[in-house]
Amino acid sequence: MRKAVALAIFLLLLSGPALADQIILKNGDRLTGAIVRSDGKTVTIKTSYAGEVSVAMASVESIVSDEPLAVATADGTTVVGPVATECGVLSVRAAAAPAAVPMSAVAALRSTAEQRQFERRRDAELFELWTGTLDTGFSLTRGNSDTTTFTAGLNATRQTATDKITVTATSVFAQNSTTGPTVTSASAVRGGGRYDVNVGDRVFAFGSLDLEHDRLQRLDLRTVIGSGLGWHARKSERTVFDVFGGATLNRENFSAQPDRTSSEALVGQEFSHKLSSRMTVKQRLSFYPRLNDPGEFRLNVDTTAVTPLTKWVGLQVTVSNRYVSGVGAPAHANDMLVTTGLRFTFAD
């Protein structure tokens, strides 16, 4: 009995590697694991010894999978089944009808899990696929000083293979009663949204709406509608760097000076980088020179650093700076918000 059990375990150990997918490179190297995805340019396989490994399709001699893969072709059809390549042709052992697809016609390969995610993103309704964060911060002093400060923020994103919707909001409110009557020392709300749609592998078009209120700057409401084009200068798992440009229409309502409407150019950049598995930094800069009033401009700079504490909770520090030239006294041209506190993450 013991010999039979030992023999069965030995046979299972021998059969384990045979059940894995394989990528054979043109130089003779082999990668063994589970094929995750391919976009036609690179193929990614998850190995037990090095995690996910991506290699260029041009370096691949053959692909063999024991588990079914979804094979998307250039003409839009999808065939599902275990695959094997031979002489530049990908043979798909589909349950309904086997298919042979030239490697040059393969637009994508996806594992079963990746295909489910792809179909979910493709078929999702507008209120699905949202991910984002909620930021909160509160400070209170009593005794020798009497101050109250509250900050809040929202960042929400809905991204698919072809477009992206981004919604943001930041607010700060502070009061100081240390020297007598209560004085409001900060009262500002900033928010907006942007819609990006891909028009190429690296190029995207966008439309945006930004709203801002700043009581101490005597700004009742700033409404900015804009549009333009952007370019993904770099896009990897750790780093994203975009540059963009366009034009905006800016309507400003002040309580201490006449309202004004300005046409503006827009030049900016957006940067995101994972410093480590525990910390991410995001930064965005937007420059708005007024076209109908040369020499006048606005400059927006936002920077956020986040360190996760748990899967759903993190610690964030955000610096949000706004400079507006031509603001009349007693308001200042520059206004900066620094907020810190807990960040709560949500995902659909």
Residues 109 and 37 sit within 8 Å (Cβ to Cβ): yes
Q: ω into residue 330 within 30 of 0, thus cis?
A: yes
Domain boundary among 123, 141, 170: 123
Confidence of residue 251 (pLDDT cuts 50, 70, 90): very high
Position 331 scores a pLDDT of 64
CATH assignment at residue 315: 2.40.128.130
For residues 342 and 209, membership in a common domain is answered with: yes
Closest C-alpha among 328, 268, 262 to residue 297: 262
Judge whether residue 299 has pLDDT over 50: yes
Mean pLDDT of the chain: 86
Domain boundary among 123, 139, 158: 123
The token pair that represents 153 in the structure block: 């923020």
| Full residue range of the structural domain in which residue 71 is found | 2-123
Q: Residue 122: phi, psi to the nearest 5? A: -70, -40
The token pair that represents 137 in the structure block: 């911060």
What's the structural domain count of the chain?
2
For residues 304 and 190, membership in a common domain is answered with: yes
| Distance in angstroms (rounded) separating the CA atoms of residues 317 and 273 | 15
For residues 222 and 113, membership in a common domain is answered with: no
Helix/strand/coil for 47: strand
Judge whether residue 208 has pLDDT over 90: yes
For residues 82 and 226, membership in a common domain is answered with: no
| Distance in angstroms (rounded) separating the CA atoms of residues 201 and 232 | 8
Instruction: List, in sequence order, every beta strand (DSSP E) within 60-162.
Output: 60-64, 69-73, 78-81, 83-86, 89-92, 99-102, 106-110, 130-141, 147-159
Pairing of strands 83-86, 78-81: unpaired
Confidence of residue 248 (pLDDT cuts 50, 70, 90): very high
Mean per-residue pLDDT, 139-152: 87
Give the DSSP H/E element, type plus range, for residue 119. helix 112-123
Position 328 scores a pLDDT of 63
Q: Residue 57: phi, psi to the nearest 5? A: -60, -30
Mean per-residue pLDDT, 219-242: 92
Closest C-alpha among 206, 196, 170 to residue 322: 170
For residues 144 and 252, membership in a common domain is answered with: yes
Residues 169 and 154 sit within 8 Å (Cβ to Cβ): yes
Q: What is the dihedral of CA 58, 64, 69, 74, to 10 degrees?
A: 30
Closest C-alpha among 78, 132, 58, 65 to residue 312: 132
| Distance in angstroms (rounded) separating the CA atoms of residues 284 and 304 | 9
Tell me 348's DSSP state: -
Tell me 201's DSSP state: S
Dihedral sign of CA atoms 54, 56, 57, 61 in order:
negative
**pLDDT tens per residue, range 81-128:** 898 887 788 888 887 778 888 888 888 889 888 888 888 888 888 888
List 167's β-bridge partners, or say none. Answer: 156, 193
Length of the chain: 348
**pLDDT tens per residue, range 253-298:** 988 788 889 999 999 999 999 988 788 999 999 999 999 888 899 9
| Distance in angstroms (rounded) separating the CA atoms of residues 176 and 185 | 7
Tell me 139's DSSP state: E
**pLDDT tens per residue, range 13-27:** 444 444 588 888 989
Tell me 1's DSSP state: -
Confidence of residue 166 (pLDDT cuts 50, 70, 90): very high
For residues 199 and 119, membership in a common domain is answered with: no
Position 89 scores a pLDDT of 86
What is the Cα 24 distance to its own chain's centre? Answer: 33
Tell me 235's DSSP state: E
Confidence of residue 198 (pLDDT cuts 50, 70, 90): very high
pTM score: 0.76
For residues 9 and 118, membership in a common domain is answered with: yes
For residues 19 and 115, membership in a common domain is answered with: yes
Position 16 scores a pLDDT of 43
For residues 104 and 204, membership in a common domain is answered with: no
Domain boundary among 96, 123, 150: 123
Position 295 scores a pLDDT of 87
For residues 146 and 274, membership in a common domain is answered with: yes
For residues 88 and 163, membership in a common domain is answered with: no
Position 4 scores a pLDDT of 47
For residues 50 and 196, membership in a common domain is answered with: no
| Distance in angstroms (rounded) separating the CA atoms of residues 236 and 52 | 14
